[in-house]
């Protein structure tokens, strides 16, 4: 199954690797989103670490917004705000990419569960399946 891991999934795995998460990375089709790449690189603590992160995520297929999708992102941000939700821009970008490509987001971030109530087509993957 195709899934887009949120930044927190990569970070958790790098800090505390488990067999369970390793199996998911091996058995599922991991798709990277450009916003996740940027968030991960932002967290680098050295040039060497920046290179390690960059090399580590380069092996994944990447999907992103195209020029015509930014209006959809704005619409999604509007829908979220009018539903009482303010989320980080990167999370809204990830959600919009996931909806566009029909790929669930694998995350531990509560923002995504809240966003899925307001954004039709946003699916969350919890490691066992789509919620």
Mean pLDDT across the chain: 94
Instruction: Say if residue 121's pLDDT is above 70.
Output: yes
Gap between the Cα atoms of 79 and 110, Å rounded = 17
Q: Is 130 a member of any domain?
A: no
pLDDT tens per residue across span 21-35: 999 999 999 999 999
Q: Is 131 a member of any domain?
A: no
Strand residue runs (E) in the chain: 2-5, 29-33, 61-63, 105-106, 124-125
Instruction: Say if residue 129's pLDDT is above 90.
Output: no
What's the domain range around 73? 2-125
Gap between the Cα atoms of 13 and 72, Å rounded = 31
CATH code of the domain in which 85 resides: 3.40.50.1010
Gap between the Cα atoms of 67 and 71, Å rounded = 9
Number of domains, the chain: 1
| Res. 126 pLDDT band, cuts 50 70 90 | confident
Q: Is 40 a member of any domain?
A: yes
pLDDT tens per residue across span 40-93: 999 999 999 999 999 999 999 999 999 999 999 999 999 999 999 999 999 999
Instruction: Record the pTM.
Output: 0.94
| Res. 130 pLDDT band, cuts 50 70 90 | low
Gap between the Cα atoms of 56 and 30, Å rounded = 12
Gap between the Cα atoms of 102 and 1, Å rounded = 11
Q: What is the DSSP letter of 65?
A: -
Gap between the Cα atoms of 111 and 109, Å rounded = 5
Percent of the chain whose predicted confidence (pLDDT) is above 70: 97
Structure tokens at 68: 């015509």
Q: Is 73 a member of any domain?
A: yes
With a CB cutoff of 8 Å and minimum separation 6, the contacts of 117 are 83
């Amino acid at each position: 199954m195709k899934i887009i891991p949120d930044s927190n999934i990569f970070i958790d795995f790098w800090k505390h690797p488990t067999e369970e998460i390793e199996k998911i990375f091996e058995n599922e089709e991991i798709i990277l989103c450009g916003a996740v790449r940027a968030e991960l690189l932002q967290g680098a603590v050295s040039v060497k670490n920046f290179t390690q992160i960059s090399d580590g995520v380069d092996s994944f297929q990447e999907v992103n917004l195209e020029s015509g999708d930014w209006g959809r992102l704005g619409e999604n941000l509007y829908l979220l705000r009018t539903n009482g939700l303010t989320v980080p821009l990167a999370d809204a970008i990830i959600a919009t990419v996931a909806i566009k490509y029909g790929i669930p987001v694998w995350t531990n971030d509560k923002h995504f569960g809240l966003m899925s109530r307001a954004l039709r087509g946003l699916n969350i993957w919890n490691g066992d399946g789509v919620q």
